[in-house]
Amino acid sequence: MAKREAFLQAVCRDKAPDFLNFIQRHKDSTDPFDLVELLQELPEKQKEQLWEKLARLLTDTLQGFPMEKWSRGLDEDSGDEMEAEVPPALMETMSIIDGVTLVATASIAVVQEDVIYDGLLECAHVLNIVVGALPSSEAMVKISIQRFCESWWEKGLPGRENLGKTAFLMLLERNLLLRSSVADMKRLWNLHAVLLTFDFESEASEEVKDLLLQCFLSVQHIKREEGRRFLISLFSWNVNFIKMIHGTIKNQIQFFPKFIMEHVGEMYFRAWKKATGPFLEEIETGCLQDYMHHGVHLHRSSPVHAKVRQILSYFHNQKLRQGVDEMLFRLYQPILWRALKARNSEVRANAALLFTEAFPIQDPSFNNEAMDSAIQKQFEVLFSLLEDPQPLVRSTGILGVCRITSKYWEMIPPAILTDFLKKMVIDLAADVSCADVRCAVFKCMTLVVDNKLSHPLLEQLLPLLKNSLHDNSEKVRVAVVELLLKIKAVRAAKFWKVCTMEHLLARLETDSHSVARRLVNLLFNSFFPVNQSEEVWCERCVALIQMNPTAARRFYQYAHEHTAPTNIAKLMLMIRRCLNACIQQAGKEEQDETESSNKENSSILDDVLSITDTATMASLLEVIVILWRSIRRSLELNEEALQYTTSKFASILPEYFRVFKEERCTVPLMLIASFMPAAAVPTFSCGVLSKLRNLEKGAVESQYGTLIDCLCRWGQAGHVVEVVTDWLTDALPQKKSRADSERRVRILETAEAKPELALDYVEYMLTCTMNREFLLSVHQKKLVQLLKALGALKVVFYAYISSSEMGPCQIDKETAMRAYSLHGRLSIHLQHKYLDDRSYLQVLEKSAAWVAEKILPFLVVPSEDTVSDQQLTTTKQVVEDRLTVLRDVVMVGLADADFKGQALHFCIAVLHAEKGYMCVPSLLSLLKEVAEDCLAQSARSQSEELSVLLSVVANVFQKILEAAARRLQKQREEGLQLCHSIHMVLGEFLNVIQDWQSADASVAPAVFSTIVAALVVELSHVLRKVSSVEELEPPESVNDLPPLSSALLTVILRSPGLIRSLMREINESVESEAIDGVTGLTAVLYILAVVIQTAKSDQSHFKDTAICIQRQLHKYYGVTAEDSRNIERTIYESSVKIVKEILLV
């Protein structure tokens, strides 16, 4: 009793601290004071008294600190309301408002009809006004008032409309501004009836419309059931609002994730199910029929097309629901049937997709006869789709027919089913006009296979498809194998009856990676039945080898993807046992023995295999190599398994080498040996190096490759390097000296140097990734010696080029040039390995300097006094080789600024040579890499050094164009060949300049100003040579331009970005009057005319250039006073005509 009295007395302005203390005690979960219990215990009169005092407290508080002062009080301290220090008066006011709200909210639950609650009603009215003026820092107070308004609405008390609107708007804003929780969405749904209190037509409702439409843009609302329930309810507010909802969703569709579209379709469907009268009509005609129209007429490439189809597919999937069939029939009637006969093939294809998804399109009210007639017409439409002249429509028809037959197999007449499948299997699977159609047959046939009722018919028809396994299109072959995998999975038929094993293995033997992997998956259980014994595995392996040895090798390349490494190892050991048994059987036959003495090596294959069958023996050894290679990493991780496998093969390998002496057997045996440590096969490993050394000149890779692999894997790559270095050193030309002429006793070296073979060894080691790593791990001193030996052979081709004498030599110029090329490659790899040591870059710089000094002087026109044609060809090859090496250094990111500077210096030296233009393609390729590297570094951090390099790049490019222009003037045929040869690399260079133009502001303008100058100069030269009016024909295409201009514009017109850069430079040149004279301006107009004919982009900037040229041409108007036969006047008049044509475009 005392507690109630104390609380009632505290509800006044004078005892505000006591009131706030009670509120705090209520919020404290550890305090026994509870407002709800207190209100329930209060008599009716005391409740009325409490509510009156509550209203008075609220009014007095607001009078003491009016709402006008709230924001002013914050502004006095800080401009940022959220960071301001709250004044004490404001803090107390907010606390009292919060407390009053709390008490008022608790009071709603105890309000009864016979109780007078005018005071509470007054509190509600005041709080509804106050909430809009609360500072943003008082978020908790706002939430309290919002909860009060919600409770008032739910209780249905007087004035609920205004309070409900307040709660609805606040909750709506909260859902949109903050990350919506499920609880907030549920509360919003509970207030959805408030929406009916808003007048849709009034301006006051505009805010709520905007907020509601924003909800349809929120993925959070759409993907949650609570949010969708609320959004669906909005379709019933006003018919015009449905139009606004539909427009909002349509505008947002392209930004929605794919998974959301299923929920969007669900919203439309549920809204349609609930709607009646004008609302239903608007959803059907304004929304669904609109989507149907777009589903038919949108381009397939549109990002919206697939999402529109998803919405419609939701309705198609609900065909079993009442009313859906009738609605689809009615709405599709004016759209679909016309679209299926449209002239546009894409429209027909889109319509076919919708038609087959919605099949059958029928009105349930039809009688049986009308229904059968409608279905028959739709079958005829399906047949027409399969016979459509456009491949896209046929492919879509195949997909639709397969969907329909799979879904409605038992309802479609057998004759029609047979006709459908025969049409696809016999005709469309062999459609020679389009691979996509053939591919569609096999991809979509998997849908039919899913229906078990189709299996008997398919078992008869599918064998007709066996030749499609050899289709010339890879994607068709992939689809065929995927179909066979499906047939195998569902046990529709025996896949080897559809495509015979002979055909499958033939494709496995020769086909691409993607097809081969699927074929192995298909055949795996047949040739590697993991559930059976290891002997069966070996039997199947032998059978596969005897059927197709090459296919067997490919099969076991991918076998590790389908089983555990343990099974692979077991098969290897089982093959070993089989081979051992064959060897023992051969020995027993020689000794005339009849009983086995070694049970471990006995095999049921003893009567099938023989060591005299070299092909099978070699194939089994190759399979062991393939299997071991596939699980090598797994074996390395399991030391015990590795040791066991190694010991088993090491113990028998010498015997294998003794028995299997044919080359095809020795190669896999050496590879097996290479998988094991050298100590495990001492007999073999000791002789590998000598075998390598004793190979004859002209040995092929199959003879030395395996030996090098063995030595590299055993860590003996250094021995190979020593052999190679010795051979190359011994092959150097011998210098004559006085000591040679003196008589002395010498021991003659009998070992023959084999430089060509040495280079084969080096190239093989550099080319193979794994061997290259072993090579580069050799001691640096040995590698340097090898590098010097390779570089020293340059004297051979220099002597040939310069026609100078040299001592006796065992090497020709081609071998010397090859050695010099390998010298460059090895230098690059060494620089990559020793990044902190610049010495190898210096080697390459000195090499380029040597070529510039010694070789470039011979890059001249052949004559009796200079060089022969053969010497010139050799010179060109040497120069191009150095350019290629320099390019590779830059391309892999090893070049520093000094190296790039030396490379550009070498480029300039080449261009200064008399026949340097012959190397322009290689030179331009190097220039492209230097430009790209410098621009990439400039994008990260600009420097003066990089700017200088880029200016040199632009300068070299200018010299290249000058060289091409000179060659066209002197030797037109050579010039034309040069222009043709630089097409590709010129495009790459210009694209680099274009793509990185933001990294440096100077290089792109310099390059494109050079291009503009080259174009204008060449075209002006052609115009000056015009002697009659008939010769003055404006170009209609790139082919009508002079050679250099044609080559440049052909490259530029392939890229919209390059066109923009060219036009930007032309504009600047014309506006700055850098191009003057009638012929110069006419040349620019010729360029514009050709570009406009080709470019499909915005042509407004062309008109700006044309207007500028028109102003410049006015300066030369006086030429019109000349004689009409004057060429300059004719050129002027032609220019004016071209300008007018451009401006009228």
The pLDDT tens digits for 523-575 are 999 999 999 999 999 999 999 999 999 999 999 999 999 999 999 999 999 99
Long-range Cβ contact pairs of 665-668 (< 8 A, separation 24 or more): 665/614, 665/617, 665/618, 665/621, 667/702, 667/706, 668/618, 668/621, 668/622, 668/624, 668/625
pLDDT band at 79 (very low <50, low <70, confident <90, very high): very low
Tokens 């381009």 belong to residue: 299
Output the pLDDT for position 1106: 80
Long-range Cβ contact pairs of 198-207 (< 8 A, separation 24 or more): 198/165, 198/237, 200/237, 200/238, 200/240, 200/241, 207/169
Residue 740 has pLDDT above 80, yes or no: no
Residue 593 has pLDDT above 60, yes or no: no
Residue 239 has pLDDT above 60, yes or no: yes
- Lowest-pLDDT choice from 111-120, 499-508, 684-693: 111-120
Sequence letter at residue 746: R
pLDDT one-digit tens code per residue, 777-824: 999 999 999 999 999 999 888 888 888 766 566 788 899 999 999 999
Residue 1145 and residue 1140: Cα distance in Å, rounded? 9
Largest Cα span, the chain:
143
Residue 743 has pLDDT above 50, yes or no: no
pLDDT band at 220 (very low <50, low <70, confident <90, very high): confident
CB within 8 A of 1002, min separation 6: which ones? 947, 950, 951, 954
Output the pLDDT for position 332: 92
The two tokens of residue 151 are: 């409770």
- Lowest-pLDDT choice from 6-20, 432-446, 918-932: 6-20
- Of 1042 and 751, which is predicted with more confidence? 1042
Output the pLDDT for position 66: 73
The residue among 489, 471, 491, 485 whose CA lies nearest residue 521 is: 485
Q: Are 114 and 97 in contact (CB under 8 A)?
A: no
Q: Are 226 and 267 in contact (CB under 8 A)?
A: no
CB within 8 A of 791, min separation 6: which ones? 819, 820, 823, 843, 847
Residue 679 and residue 686: Cα distance in Å, rounded? 9
Tokens 């960071």 belong to residue: 83
Output the pLDDT for position 22: 77
Residue 549 and residue 555: Cα distance in Å, rounded? 10
Percent of the chain topping pLDDT 70: 91
- Lowest-pLDDT choice from 68-82, 198-212, 271-285: 68-82
Buried b / exposed e over 898-937, threshold 16 CB at 10 Å, is: ebbbbbbbbbebbbebebbbbbbbbbbbbbbbbbbbbbeb
Residue 301 has pLDDT above 90, yes or no: no
Burial class (CB in 10 A: 0-12, 13-18, 19+), 753: middle
The two tokens of residue 485 are: 């995998």
- Lowest-pLDDT choice from 14-23, 356-365, 620-629: 14-23
Residue 1121 has pLDDT above 70, yes or no: no
Helix, strand or coil, per DSSP, at residue 351: helix
CB within 8 A of 865, min separation 6: which ones? none
Torsion of CA 572, 578, 580, 582, to 10 degrees: -150
Residue 597 has pLDDT above 50, yes or no: no
Helix, strand or coil, per DSSP, at residue 1053: coil
Average pLDDT over residues 54-79: 66
- H helices of 342-434, where? 345-358, 368-386, 391-407, 414-422
Output the pLDDT for position 741: 40
CB within 8 A of 460, min separation 6: which ones? none
pLDDT band at 853 (very low <50, low <70, confident <90, very high): very high
Buried b / exposed e over 1103-1126, threshold 16 CB at 10 Å, is: bebbebbbebbeebeebeeeeeee
Mean pLDDT, the chain, rounded, equals: 85
Tokens 């049921």 belong to residue: 604
pLDDT band at 1145 (very low <50, low <70, confident <90, very high): low
The length of the chain is 1145
pLDDT band at 749 (very low <50, low <70, confident <90, very high): very low
Output the pLDDT for position 175: 75
Output the pLDDT for position 81: 45
The residue among 201, 269, 263, 203 whose CA lies nearest residue 235 is: 269
Residue 1065 has pLDDT above 50, yes or no: yes
Tokens 């399991």 belong to residue: 638
Q: Quote the strand ranges of 761-852, DSSP E.
A: none
Helix, strand or coil, per DSSP, at residue 736: coil
Number of H helices, E strands in the chain: 59, 0
